[in-house]
Amino acid sequence: MKKTKRLVGIPVASGIVIGNAFILNREIEHVPHMEIEDSEIQAEYERFDKAVNEAVKQLERIRSQVKEKVGESQSYIFDAKIMMLKDDDIREKTFRKIKEERINCEAAFDEVIKGVIRAYDEIDDEYLSERRSDIENVRRRILNNLLGKSHIQITEIKEKVVVIAHDLAPSDTALINKEIILGFATDVGGKTSHTAIMARSLEIPAVVGLQNITDQVATGDTVIIDGNSGIVIINPDAETLNEYEYKKKKYEDSRKLLFSLKDLPAETLDGYKLKILANIELPDEVNAVETYGGDGIGLYRTEYLFMNRKTMPQEEEQFENYRKIAERMNPKPVTIRTFDLGGDKFISQMDMAEELNPAMGLRAIRFCLEKVDVFKTQIRAILRASAYGNLKILYPMISGIQELKRAKSILEECKEELKEEGIAFDENIKLGIMIEVPTAAIMADFFAREVDFFSIGTNDLIQYCLAIDRVNEKVAYLYDPLHPAILRLLDTIVFSAHRYKIPVCLCGEMSAEPIYAFLLLGFEIDELSTNPRSILDIKRIVRNSNLSDAKEIVSKILTMDTADSIRKYIDSIILDKYPEEFFSIE
């Protein structure tokens, strides 16, 4: 019997599946590097263009298939890849390298595209840095065409299997037949990769970021994928198989029970009502918000509209996008965050100076105030869409009062323009700010006088407060939502907001964890915004909790000076008051 192996990765789509492994190996082991003669340069140019054109045709065919199966809203993923394939900058650099270094087009292109990949690796933003996998997929497709290798399609798999791969392209996950592909696990990837987004959309158990699972598994091996915990077990023994068969059944039964809560309010046993909204990145995720009974959309990230394209999205395109979501969710609220990008994170839209630390440079609201025309285009589109539903505007990364006042004045300018043009909009549209920079948290009482609501972005707030890079594995362990300083800041923010009678929403990853959701009750947060599939879990927590218990625990932990002491207290007190399976504490 083969030895049992247990690996731990990043859970990106919940559920448990047990099945036989199928290795989907597409890695390019060797890229030939050859010197060429002057007389061969033109032929290499033509070979490269032919390979790119064929890659475009391949993706266009896949896009058509995806449109039929999944719908129009997912096609942007393939539009972005096709745009990358047609990027003149990559083509020109490849041609220049062929000519100047007298090398074959495979070697020239590989060096150029790897430079692009390295640039993505340096981006200090989880969502954007994971776009490198899209570049990797483009690299692999063009090189396979140049080398004459075929592309194995996931649709060619005919037996029920668990797919194991180094990475999966969106074109793979979008065409998955759930009756055949039971789940998948990959070496690379993260929670915000396109592969993860598609897995959640299709509700297929998946674990990514396993580093070397493709070296650990053979086709035909029995594999357990636990998309709840991130555990993958290869060749389990009989006892482990029985354990996970039981866990699988228990999970499936619990999901059925959770859906009975869909239309019930998130109200504690002692009468405190909380709103649970959803974070979305793609228009298609509105389906999941409705499926899981969200009270609205607490954070619509609009970055994807601006990425991987050669021109900025025009007002009409943005308006149509926002209008459709507003109409679909009406009368429930939709909070649209103005785009949180910097010039360094656009592929080829505008020339921006390189920055040593782009995460703290010209990004988000700072970029918007620098490029007012771009900012006004988005604001006008949101305002116009507000006539079709309950929209709110959210400014990211606000760090000072003057910055906010300038952004507010631009909003007023846009309102006046639309009035003069006779275009309808909600004149009383609510405006809020992300509290994600320490200065904003410290000055929350001043900001509360200027806006209609706060939205706490715990991901960046924790990162900036603790001076760590959460995507740097050497210091990521310091990222701790239970750090006393973070909890004190949360208390300050909520106190300041409620003092001026404005609501507070928390929309970071912290809201998706059951134990944190319980603690946030104790801070008397008004709204939680999380990924759609966590909504029912949080609702279960709220409906089985007492606000009085949560407040008592929060008052105690605010007197403690270390995260370890807070964690131990929570472990001893909360698990004594509630069933052990109620929470998961790390």
Whether 351 and 470 map to the same domain: the answer is yes
As a whole number of angstroms, the distance between CA 42 and CA 35 comes to: 14
Whether 233 and 324 map to the same domain: the answer is no
Q: Which of 201, 208, 204, 227 is nearest to 69 (CA)?
A: 201
Domain contains 499: yes
As a whole number of angstroms, the distance between CA 108 and CA 447 comes to: 53
Q: Please, which residues bridge with residue 433 across strands?
A: 395, 454
CATH of the domain at 234: 3.50.30.10
Domain contains 419: yes
As a whole number of angstroms, the distance between CA 559 and CA 18 comes to: 46
Whether 227 and 299 map to the same domain: the answer is no
Whether 232 and 370 map to the same domain: the answer is no
CATH of the domain at 276: 3.20.20.60
Looking at residue 343, its pLDDT comes to 42
The pLDDT tens digits for 450-462 are 999 999 999 889 9
As a whole number of angstroms, the distance between CA 398 and CA 365 comes to: 7
Whether 46 and 10 map to the same domain: the answer is no
Domain contains 194: yes
Whether 348 and 269 map to the same domain: the answer is yes
Amino acid 373 reads D
Domain contains 565: yes
Q: Which of 98, 113, 122 is nearest to 28 (CA)?
A: 113
The range of the structural domain enclosing residue 132 comes to: 40-147
Domain contains 54: yes
Domain edge (last residue) among 83, 112, 147: 147
Are the C-beta atoms of 285 and 307 separated by less than 8 Å?
Answer: no
Whether 428 and 559 map to the same domain: the answer is yes
Domain contains 515: yes
Active site residues: 194, 507
User: 259 — phi, psi (to 5°)?
Assistant: -65, -15
Amino acid 520 reads L
Looking at residue 205, its pLDDT comes to 94
User: Tokens 């394939």 map to which residue?
Assistant: 85
Residue by residue, what is the 3-state secondary structure of 384-435?
Answer: HHHHHCEEEEEECCCCCHHHHHHHHHHHHHHHHHHHHHCCCCCCCCEEEEEE
Task: Indicate the helix (H) or strand (E) that contains 7.
Answer: strand 5-8
Whether 293 and 441 map to the same domain: the answer is yes
Q: Which residues of the chain have pLDDT under 70?
A: 1, 25-27, 29, 66-77, 80, 121-132, 149-153, 170-171, 174, 192-194, 197, 201, 307-310, 342-362, 469-477, 575, 578-586
| Secondary structure (3-state) at 111 | helix
Are the C-beta atoms of 244 and 224 separated by less than 8 Å?
Answer: yes
Question: CB 482: neighbour CB atoms within 10 A?
Answer: 20
Are the C-beta atoms of 12 and 191 separated by less than 8 Å?
Answer: yes
Integer CA distances (angstroms), 519 to 212, 583, 586, in order: 37, 11, 15
Whether 422 and 533 map to the same domain: the answer is yes
Domain contains 35: no
Structure-token pair, residue 143: 């090189």
Domain edge (last residue) among 186, 221, 255: 255
Looking at residue 585, its pLDDT comes to 40
Domain edge (last residue) among 215, 231, 255: 255
Tally the domains of the chain. Answer: 3
The pLDDT tens digits for 302-339 are 987 876 566 788 999 999 999 999 999 999 999 999 99
End-to-end CA distance of the chain: give it in Å, rounded.
33
CA angle 502, 515, 480 (to 5 degrees): 85
The widest CA-to-CA distance across the chain, in whole angstroms, is 83
Looking at residue 472, its pLDDT comes to 58
Whether 489 and 413 map to the same domain: the answer is yes
CATH of the domain at 115: 1.10.274.10
Whether 411 and 268 map to the same domain: the answer is yes
| Secondary structure (3-state) at 360 | helix
As a whole number of angstroms, the distance between CA 157 and CA 499 comes to: 60
